Each structure stands twice: as structure tokens, then as C-alpha cells.
């Protein structure tokens, strides 16, 4: 890379923002500690004493419910009800607490308790029945970290084919049709701007299922780009190598809840920059269920059941899923298939329910297939990608109840996959010299065929190992309840697949003297990550005001060479969240945090690039007289010195909780530095040109002992670099209005204003000048490429939710509006900052030098792109869910049922852009078997 990347632009003024936010936080805390000192507070005894909180959980018939999970907020302690339905918490200081009671098949119940003495409560849980006001079909917000929780009822009402369909409930996300024709990626608090920014955002979104991160770090299903394509072009088959997880592979019918953290996460989570999606499986006893979903492009069938042993200590769950989809109903050759299954076993210790262990075996098989069209007998185009995956995980939680440790938790998982991608196509070209050399050498080559069928297979076998242990200590300090957490985790990612292979005499299409060779993945070393973290979560009252604080630090040792020695870098990530109730029902929030994402193996080990330079070429009619001499030059790109890219987040917000409504507002500012992109660079290679002394009949030519001349070839190749900068800022909000009883309708309003700005904080080499010219240039210009692309979007989603409890019907309508959508491209400088000569030397140029006539040939033509501003866009969707008490259910949805799809003129292309999702509909049938 010729030169170092520049600094981030001054317009963000991050240091100034830090100072302002720090002052605000100090003022806030000072106000909290000092405000209203004369207000009536708890008695002196209650400040020093501790109390117990217990209860009884019953069903509608008054029977005690066993194995109900009771979560005590904000300290996040938990208990599980015994056979009679009792639970208890002890050693609690005075204050306000919230109990969240949940059990599979029942609506989640929340209770607020003001604890001033030993307290016992009774709670009745209602079966989860569509139409109940307690059954939420939208996401609910959590106090810290700007997270949204999507419960089972909301998941069911969405009628999702994959995890991506559920994310429309998150503020700022748009509702789209459930398309499965291509990989589904997610960006949190980031809107589309550039390809590299979208990939970095998706890669930096951590997906956690049942406590185990879903790693894509060992995915090597990629290809070598032809130089006619862009550096970041995707392979001809479906792949998410170097990107985020493909959400198509994650069905959600067996998921009980989903949490989407967009703000500052706990120090317990790492290997991320954008946010976290946490999914927890549905584990418990429930009747067997069958669900069938149909739409014009897909068909899905699901089976689930859960049952417990006679002793009620063991719970078993089984789920399976089969899905088949087409990208376009008119194209029967492009199909996507998914098979998924899961077995779960949970053991709950009999003694006070103090030990809970859950073991899960899950697997899936996906096939993304483009079959060969029978009418395509000439070119025989075909490609497919299949992915087999099996995961074995176990986690346990032991409530020790000791003075030095309260809870001990462990998680261990092993994930093994087999990924196989294939593509074939007819390659037509002139007779061309071909070499099979894999090292720098000069040797006799052969002539390849002018037409042949290339068949390339990429075979990967990723293996991921994850181990974590965590200890929790619950402690009362003064009048606050502290939850101290200490833990460590280890991740390992490796790929032992056969690699990318093909017949070397029938290679994939390449050009500009670029060669291609098969490659094995077995020699690529494993990627290890070791992390340690400490965190304190405490809540209480200060100066008569409720206060919640989450403060922690995480140390990530990336590719460790010891406990505190790293091959790449050790990243220290402080995380801080706080919330204070300044007035009754009015909370102010603030937070700051740093997170880091390790580059995956596909970026660290992109392989070797080969260039076959012809020294002598004599093609005669007589095969015995032919001779071609080829010099092979290699550019090893493995073991890239890439650093983890980091994000820095600031956040402030307020929550208003009234009987009439609730409001959650978050203001955020994020900066991601060192994100990974792909640049095209050049390297000069001198090579000999040979001449023949004679051309005897029946034999190859006789070459002169000395070269006729020495030429220079500029080899162009793609390489990953750490110089992408992404900045996101904006606001997101949620307003929940209670049900209007006269019309049995409630309203949920979400929205977000997001501005994303990204640029390449480095240098751009005009590589095309090197290989597209008829003559070898004397010098290759290098330009500064800090042109920013700024995109802005403001959208709202208003959901009308109408319930009919007597008929078990829930009807919802969505009015989604994109009020503002602007894309503002930056302006590139036409002048170079340096150039590379034929010796490979980079010569820097001052601003005055670039204006001199001698460098006129290095000045590039820069086009000016116009700012694109779209008018407001409206989308109307409807959904209806009906359940019968005998176990039957039916759901229906229609997206963009008004079929409103306006055309908009694009000033940059001169064409028309069709906006909005097409009219789409689907139905679901479900049955619970008694």
C-alpha cells in the first residue's frame, strides 16, 4: 500500500463530543446525588436491612405452575418455581423491583414491587392466546443499551420465514417482502451507502443463539476475481465469505425471544462493532405444533414439540423445519432449499432449582442452486452452494449462594460445517499460453484450448470452538444492589476444507496475464481469540432518585501468543451505561463504549496471485515445432497484517413511562475506523523477452542465450486493507399508546433518523491504467480517495393493532413512510498525490508539483454525480391472525396491498427507478395436537 491512511475528517469532532458528553454525565450524576435532599425517603432501618421477596405463580385454574422463570429486574437475578409454583429472592435492599415471569405457552407477566419489607405476591399466568391485551405483537424496549426485545407472540404474528423478517419490528428498519433468492444481511443503525460499508456493518453484527456466537470467521467460500470485475465483486455462487451471517439459514419458529442490541452492549460480548442479535430457543413443555406457510415464492413446513419427564426435572424439545423457495416464480431453475432440525435437553436440579443445564444439538442443510437451463446446451451455465452445519452446545448455571460467589455459569460449543460451492461455464478465447508453475520460475508452457468447459469447486470445512465461564457475585453496598461479573472466553476458527480446485489445464476465465491455480485450505492456521471481562451492574436510589448503572471493561487478545501477548493487537474496550429517574416516570440515559471486530480468515489469508508472462511464443502448424516460454511471478498475500477494526459509540436518551403512553428516545453517534475493504493495487515485474536464432523443421525454435530485451509488466491484484471509515449518527424512537377499549385498538409508533457517512481513508491506485493500456506505462498515478458518500434517511412505522378476545383474532396494519431519502456523493480530486514508476518506487508529489505540465498525463477525469433526493414513500401492509380453541389457527398478510410503486427519475443514470416493494401476500396454517 503506497502510503498511510489519513485521519478521520474534522467534521465529526469526536474529542469535543467526548468532553461535552462527559460534562453532561457528571452534571447528571451530581444532580442525582444532590437533588431534593429534603424529600421524604426510606426509613433509616430500611437503608441497612435486607428483605425477602417471594411469590406463588398459578394458572387460570389456580394450580401452581412449575418451572416458571422469574427474572428480577433491574439486578437480573433469576429464580425457577418449584412443584407448587413458589419462588423466592433473599437479601434484597429496599427499593423498586420489576418481576418478569415467563413460561412456554403463557403470556409474559410483569409486576412492579416496592420493597420495604418481606413481601409475598401471587401471580396468575394466562395462556398465550391471540387477542389478549397482554400478548404483544411489537418489540418492547429495555432500559440500558438501546435494545429491543421481540417475544414469541410478535414472532408468530410476523409469520417469518427467517430471522431477517422479524427485524422489521426494530426502530428504523424497513418492512420488506420475505425474499430468499439471495443472502440476507443486516445493518444496525446504518443505512446503505457503499458496498464496503454495508459489508463491514453486517460483519460487525454479532449473532448469538442460545448463548453461542454464530461465527462466520472461517468461511472461505470465495473466488479469484477477474480483473474486468470490481475488486469487491461477489463470486458467481452464493456466499457470505467476508460478510455477516446469512440470516436465511436461521428459522425462528423454535425461537422463544429475540433481543436486538443497537447501543452499547455489556462487556460480556465481543467480536463486534455494530450490535448484537440474541436469540433464545423455545425450551419447555408444550403440545406438538405444525405450521405451514405459503406464498407465491416459498413453501415452509414446521414441526415442534416439548415434553418433560415424569420427575419434571428433565425437559425435551424437538423441532424441524423444511423450506423451499424461488427467487422468481417465473424462473424454475433458481431455487433455495433449507432443512433444519434441533434437539434440546434441559435438566433442572431438584434442590431449590439451583442448577440448570441445557444441551442442544442442531443442524441445517441449505442449497442455493441455479440449475442448468435445458435450452442452454451451448454455454452450460450452472452454479450451486450447499452448506451443511451441525452444532453441539451445552451451558449450565449454578446458584452457589456463597459469600464469594453467587452464580457460576459455563458455555461450551462445537460447530462443524461443510460448505461446497460449484460453478461451470463455457470459456471461449484464442489459443493462449498456459503454465502450471506455482513458484517464481521460467519454464516451458503449453497451449490451452480455445474453448472448454471450466468446472470450479470451492470446498470448505469450517470448525468453530467456543468456551466461556462466568462468575457472578451479588452484593449489597449501602442502599444499592450490585451484580459483579467476571469472565473469560476463548474462540477458535479454522477451515480444513479441500479448498478451491479445478483442472489446471481448464482454468476459470482470467485476463491481462493473470494466472490461476488450485489452492487447499488445510494449511491456513486457525484464528484464536481470548478475552477477559469485568462488569458491575447496580441499581438503587441516590438522593431519592432511582439509578441504574452498568460499567465494565473488556480485554480482547486477538491471535494470542500468551495471556497478554498478541500477534495482532490487544484491544481494551470500556463500556458504560447509566439511567436515572429525574422525575416520576421520566428517565434520562447515557452511555459510551468501544468494541472491536477481528478480520475473518478470508481477509487474513486471501491466497497467492499468479501472473504468467510470456517470454517467447511460437505457434506453428506442426505441433512438434511449437514453443512457448513463460515466466511465472507470484504475489503471496497470506498472513495479512490487518488489525481489528473498532467502533466508538456515544448515546443519550430519555424514557417516559405514563399510564397514557410510553416514549423511548435515543440519540446516537458512532464512528468505525479501520474497517476492511478491498483495494486494487499494482506491482511491477521485469521479465525477459527472448528471440529465436533458428527455426529448424520438425523441432522447436533455438533461442538466443541472451534476452533480446527486458520489459516491465504491471501486475494488478486485489488486497484487503484497513482504511474504511464509517460514521453513523441520528435518533430513533418508540411510542406505545395503550389500547383504546372502545375500539379495542392500540397504537405503536417507531421511527429513526439516520445519517451514514463513509469514505476510503487511504489511497487509490489507477490500476486499470496498468493493464488496460496497449503499452506499458512509465508511471501509475496514486490519488487520495477520501471522498465521502453521505446517505440520510428518516422513516416512521405506525402499527394499528386491533384485538377481538372473544374470537381470538388480532388484526394489525402497518403504515410505513420514508419521509426523507438522500444520497449525497462527494467530489474526487483529479490530481495525484504520488506515482509509482517501473521500478516500483513511489514518488510523492506536492500540491504545486501536480499542477505542472509534466504531470498532465496523471490527472484523471472526474465526473460529478448529482445528489439524489427521493420524495416521501408510503407502504401499507396488513396482517391477521386467528386461533380456535381446538388448536387450529390461520394467519394472512398482504404487503403493499395498494400496490403503490411510483417511478422516480435518477439524474445520474438518466433512467427511472421503481420504488417500493411489489404487492405480496402469504398465508399460514397451524395446528396444535392435543
> Tens digit of pLDDT for each residue in 646-687?
999 999 999 999 888 899 999 999 999 999 999 999 999 999
Least confident of 124-138, 389-403, 433-447, 621-635: 124-138
Instruction: Identify any residues that bridge with 683 across adjacent strands, giving them in sequence order.
Output: 715
Residue 825 half-sphere exposure toward CB, CA atoms < 13 A: 13
Q: Tell me the backbone φ, ψ of residue 830, rounded to 5 degrees.
A: -80, -10
Q: What's the whole-number mean pLDDT along residues 876-903? A: 91
Q: What is the pLDDT of residue 645?
A: 96
Q: Over 90: is that where the pLDDT of 490 sits? A: yes
- The total of other beta-carbon atoms located within 10 Å of residue 13's CB is 12
Angle in degrees, CA 505, 507, 513, rounded to 5: 100
Q: pLDDT tens digits, residue range 736-749?
A: 998 888 888 999 99
Q: Over 90: is that where the pLDDT of 95 sits? A: no
Q: What's the whole-number mean pLDDT along residues 246-264? A: 95
Q: pLDDT tens digits, residue range 412-447?
A: 999 999 999 999 999 998 888 999 999 999 999 999
Q: Over 50: is that where the pLDDT of 47 sits? A: no
Least confident of 31-35, 66-70, 140-144, 529-533: 31-35
Residue with grid cell 486457525, as numbered in its chain? 526
Instruction: Choose between 373 and 18: higher pLDDT.
Output: 373
Q: Over 90: is that where the pLDDT of 332 sits? A: no
Q: pLDDT tens digits, residue range 808-834?
A: 889 999 999 999 999 999 888 899 999
CA distances, 820 to each of 727, 824, 841, 871 (Å)? 19, 13, 48, 7
Q: What is the pLDDT of residue 13?
A: 40
Write out the three cell numbers for 297.
415464492
684: left (phi over 0), alpha (psi -120 to 50) or beta: beta
Q: Over 60: is that where the pLDDT of 38 sits? A: no
Residue with grid cell 470459456, as numbered in its chain? 427
Q: What's the whole-number mean pLDDT along residues 223-240? A: 91
* Dist. CA 345–CA 284, nearest whole Å: 9
CA distances, 498 to each of 367, 386, 591 (Å)? 19, 15, 46
Q: What's the whole-number mean pLDDT along residues 538-560? A: 89
Scanning 587-658, the segments in alpha helix (DSSP H) are: 601-604
Instruction: Identify any residues that bridge with 105 across adjacent strands, giving them in sequence order.
Output: none
Q: Over 80: is that where the pLDDT of 31 sits? A: no
| Among candidate residues 383, 428, 448, 457, the one with its CA nearest the CA of residue 223 | 457
Angle in degrees, CA 595, 757, 751, rounded to 5: 80
Q: How confident is the model at residue 786 (pLDDT cuts 50, 70, 90)?
A: low
Q: What's the whole-number mean pLDDT along residues 475-489? A: 89
Q: What is the pLDDT of residue 133?
A: 58
Q: How confident is the model at residue 167 (pLDDT cuts 50, 70, 90)?
A: very high
Least confident of 37-41, 98-102, 215-219, 656-660: 37-41
Write out the three cell numbers for 2.
503506497
C-beta of residue 237 within 8 angstroms of C-beta of residue 421: yes
Q: Over 80: is that where the pLDDT of 42 sits? A: no
> For the chain, what is the mean pLDDT?
89
Q: What is the pLDDT of residue 526?
A: 96
* Dist. CA 442–CA 440, nearest whole Å: 7
The predicted model scores a pTM of 0.91
Least confident of 538-552, 638-652, 695-709: 538-552
Q: What is the pLDDT of residue 131?
A: 55
Q: What is the pLDDT of residue 400?
A: 86
Q: What is the pLDDT of residue 636?
A: 96
Write out the three cell numbers for 246.
446469512
Q: Over 50: is that where the pLDDT of 534 sits? A: yes
C-beta of residue 550 within 8 angstroms of C-beta of residue 537: yes
Q: Over 50: is that where the pLDDT of 39 sits? A: no
Cis status of the peptide bond prior to 486, with omega within 30 of 0: no
* Dist. CA 258–CA 280, nearest whole Å: 7
Least confident of 195-199, 381-385, 477-481, 904-908: 477-481
Cis status of the peptide bond prior to 74, with omega within 30 of 0: yes
Q: Over 80: is that where the pLDDT of 67 sits? A: yes
Angle in degrees, CA 828, 830, 831, rounded to 5: 120
Instruction: Identify any residues that bridge with 407 across adjacent strands, giving them in sequence order.
Output: 399, 472
Percent of the chain with pLDDT over 90: 65
Scanning 689-810, the segments in alpha helix (DSSP H) are: 767-771
Residue burial 51-68, b: 16+ Cβ < 10 Å; e: rest: bebebbbbbeeeeebbbb
Q: What's the whole-number mean pLDDT along residues 312-319? A: 90
Q: How confident is the model at residue 910 (pLDDT cuts 50, 70, 90)?
A: confident
Q: What is the pLDDT of residue 539?
A: 85
Q: What's the whole-number mean pLDDT along residues 21-28? A: 45
Q: How confident is the model at residue 543 (pLDDT cuts 50, 70, 90)?
A: confident
613: left (phi over 0), alpha (psi -120 to 50) or beta: beta
Q: How confident is the model at residue 28 (pLDDT cuts 50, 70, 90)?
A: very low
Q: What is the pLDDT of residue 37?
A: 37
Q: Over 70: is that where the pLDDT of 21 sits? A: no
Amino acid at each position: 500500500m503506497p502510503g498511510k491512511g489519513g485521519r478521520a475528517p474534522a467534521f465529526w469532532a469526536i474529542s469535543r463530543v467526548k468532553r461535552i458528553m462527559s460534562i453532561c454525565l457528571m452534571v447528571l450524576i451530581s444532580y442525582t446525588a444532590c437533588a431534593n435532599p429534603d424529600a421524604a425517603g426510606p426509613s433509616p432501618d430500611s437503608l441497612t436491612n435486607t428483605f425477602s421477596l417471594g411469590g406463588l405463580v398459578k394458572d387460570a385454574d389456580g394450580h401452581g405452575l412449575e418451572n416458571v422463570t422469574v427474572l428480577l429486574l433491574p439486578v437480573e437475578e433469576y429464580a425457577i418455581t418449584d412443584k407448587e409454583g413458589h419462588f423466592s429472592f433473599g437479601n434484597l435492599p429496599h427499593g423498586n423491583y420489576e418481576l418478569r415471569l415467563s413460561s412456554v405457552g403463557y403470556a409474559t407477566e410483569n409486576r412492579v414491587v416496592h420493597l420495604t419489607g418481606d413481601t409475598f405476591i401471587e401471580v396468575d399466568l394466562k395462556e398465550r392466546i391471540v387477542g389478549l391485551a397482554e400478548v404483544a405483537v411489537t418489540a418492547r424496549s429495555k432500559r440500558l443499551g438501546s435494545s429491543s426485545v421481540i417475544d414469541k407472540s410478535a414472532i408468530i404474528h410476523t409469520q417469518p420465514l427467517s430471522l431477517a423478517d422479524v427485524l422489521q419490528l426494530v426502530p428504523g428498519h424497513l418492512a420488506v417482502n420475505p425474499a430468499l433468492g439471495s443472502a440476507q444481511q443486516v445493518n444496525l443503525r446504518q443505512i446503505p451507502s457503499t458496498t464496503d460499508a454495508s459489508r463491514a456493518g453486517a460483519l460487525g453484527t454479532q449473532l448469538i443463539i442460545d448463548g453461542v456466537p454464530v461465527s462466520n470467521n472461517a468461511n472461505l467460500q470465495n473466488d479469484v476475481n477477474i480483473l474486468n470485475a470490481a475488486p469487491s465483486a461477489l463470486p458467481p455462487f452464493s456466499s457470505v465469505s467476508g460478510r455477516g451471517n446469512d440470516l436465511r439459514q436461521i428459522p425462528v419458529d423454535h425461537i422463544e425471544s429475540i433481543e436486538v442490541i443497537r447501543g452499547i452492549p455489556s462487556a460480556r460480548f465481543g467480536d463486534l462493532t455494530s450490535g448484537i442479535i440474541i436469540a433464545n430457543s423455545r425450551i419447555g413443555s408444550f403440545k406438538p405444533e405444525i405450521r405451514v406457510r405459503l406464498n407465491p415464492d416459498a413453501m415452509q413446513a414446521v414441526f415442534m414439540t416439548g415434553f418433560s419427564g415424569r420427575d419434571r426435572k428433565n425437559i425435551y424439545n424437538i423441532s424441524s423445519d423444511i423450506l423451499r423457495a424461488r427467487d422468481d416464480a417465473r424462473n424454475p431453475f433458481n431455487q433455495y432449499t433449507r432443512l433444519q432440525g434441533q434437539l434440546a435437553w434441559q435438566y433442572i436440579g431438584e434442590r431449590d432449582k439451583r442448577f440448570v443445564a441445557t444441551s442442544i444439538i442442531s443442524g441445517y442443510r441449505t442449497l442455493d442452486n441455479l440449475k442448468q437451463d435445458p435450452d442452454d446446451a451451448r454455454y452450460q451455465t450452472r452454479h450451486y452452494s450447499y452448506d451443511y452445519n451441525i452444532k453441539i452446545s451445552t451451558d449450565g448455571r449454578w446458584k452457589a449462594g456463597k459469600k464469594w460467589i453467587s452464580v457460576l455459569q459455563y458455555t461450551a460449543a462445537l460447530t462443524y460445517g461443510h460448505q461446497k460451492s460449484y460453478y461451470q461455464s463455457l470459456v471461449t478465447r484464442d489459443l493462449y499460453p498456459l503454465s502450471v508453475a506455482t513458484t517464481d520460475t521460467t519454464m516451458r508452457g503449453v497451449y490451452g484450448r480455445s474453448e472448454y468447459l471450466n468446472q470450479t469447486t470451492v470446498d470448505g470445512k469450517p470448525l468453530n470452538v467456543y468456551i466461556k465461564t462466568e462468575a457472578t457475585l451479588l452484593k449489597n453496598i449501602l442502599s444499592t444492589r450490585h451484580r459483579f461479573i467476571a469472565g473469560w472466553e476463548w474462540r477458535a476458527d479454522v477451515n480444513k476444507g479441500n479448498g478451491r480446485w479445478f483442472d489446471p489445464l481448464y482454468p476459470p476465465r482470467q485476463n491481462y496475464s493473470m494466472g490461476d491455480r488450485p489452492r487447499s485450505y488445510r494449511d491456513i492456521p486457525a484464528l484464536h481469540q481470548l478475552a477477559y471481562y469485568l462488569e458491575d451492574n447496580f441499581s438503587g436510589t441516590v438522593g431519592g432518585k432511582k439509578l441504574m448503572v452498568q460499567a465494565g471493561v473488556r480485554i480482547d487478545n486477538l491471535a494470542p501468543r500468551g495471556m497478554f501477548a498478541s500477534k495482532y493487537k490487544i484491544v481494551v474496550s470500556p463500556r458504560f451505561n447509566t439511567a436515572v429517574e429525574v422525575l416520576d416516570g421520566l428517565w434520562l440515559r447515557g452511555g459510551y463504549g468501544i468494541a472491536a471486530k477481528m478480520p475473518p480468515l478470508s481477509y487474513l489469508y486471501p491466497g497467492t496471485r499468479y501472473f504468467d508472462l510470456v517470454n517467447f511464443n511460437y505457434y506453428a502448424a506442426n505441433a512438434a515445432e511449437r514453443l512457448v516460454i513463460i515466466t511465472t511471478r507470484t504475489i503471496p498475500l497470506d498472513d495479512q497484517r490487518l488489525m481489528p477494526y473498532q467502533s466508538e459509540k456515544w448515546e443519550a436518551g430519555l424514557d417516559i413511562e405514563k399510564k397514557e403512553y410510553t416514549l423511548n428516545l435515543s440519540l446516537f453517534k458512532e464512528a468505525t475506523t479501520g474497517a476492511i475493504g478491498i483495494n486494487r493495487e499494482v506491482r511491477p515485474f521485469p521479465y525477459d523477452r527472448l528471440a529465436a536464432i533458428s527455426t529448424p523443421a520438425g523441432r522447436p525454435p533455438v533461442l538466443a542465450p541472451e534476452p533480446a530485451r527486458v520489459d516491465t509488466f504491471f501486475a494488478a491484484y486485489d488486497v484487503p486493507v484497513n482504511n474504511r471509515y464509517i460514521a453513523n449518527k441520528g435518533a430513533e424512537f418508540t411510542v406505545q399508546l395503550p389500547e383504546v377499549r372502545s375500539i379495542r385498538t392500540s397504537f405503536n409508533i417507531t421511527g429513526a433518523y439516520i445519517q451514514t457517512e463513509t469514505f476510503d481513508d487511504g489511497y487509490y491506485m489507477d490500476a486499470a491504467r496498468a493493464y488496460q493500456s496497449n503499452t506499458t506505462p512509465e508511471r501509475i498515478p496514486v490519488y487520495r480517495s477520501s471522498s465521502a458518500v453521505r446517505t440520510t434517511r428518516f422513516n416512521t412505522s405506525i402499527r394499528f393493532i386491533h384485538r377481538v378476545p372473544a374470537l381470538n383474532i388480532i388484526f394489525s396494519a402497518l403504515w410505513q413512510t420514508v419521509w426523507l431519502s438522500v444520497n449525497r456523493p462527494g467530489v474526487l480530486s483529479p490530481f495525484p498525490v504520488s506515482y509509482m514508476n517501473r521500478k516500483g518506487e513511489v514518488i510523492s508529489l506536492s500540491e504545486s508539483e501536480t499542477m505542472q505540465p509534466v504531470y498532465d498525463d496523471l490527472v484523471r477525469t472526474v465526473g460529478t454525480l448529482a445528489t439524489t433526493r427521493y420524495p416521501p414513500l408510503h407502504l401499507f401492509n396488513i396482517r391477521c391472525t386467528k386461533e380456535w380453541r381446538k388448536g387450529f389457527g390461520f394467519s394472512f398478510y398482504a404487503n403493499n396491498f395498494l400496490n403503490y410503486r411510483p417511478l422516480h427519475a435518477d439524474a445520474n443514470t438518466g433512467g427511472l427507478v421503481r420504488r417500493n416493494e411489489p404487492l405480496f401476500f402469504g398465508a399460514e396454517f397451524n395446528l396444535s395436537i392435543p
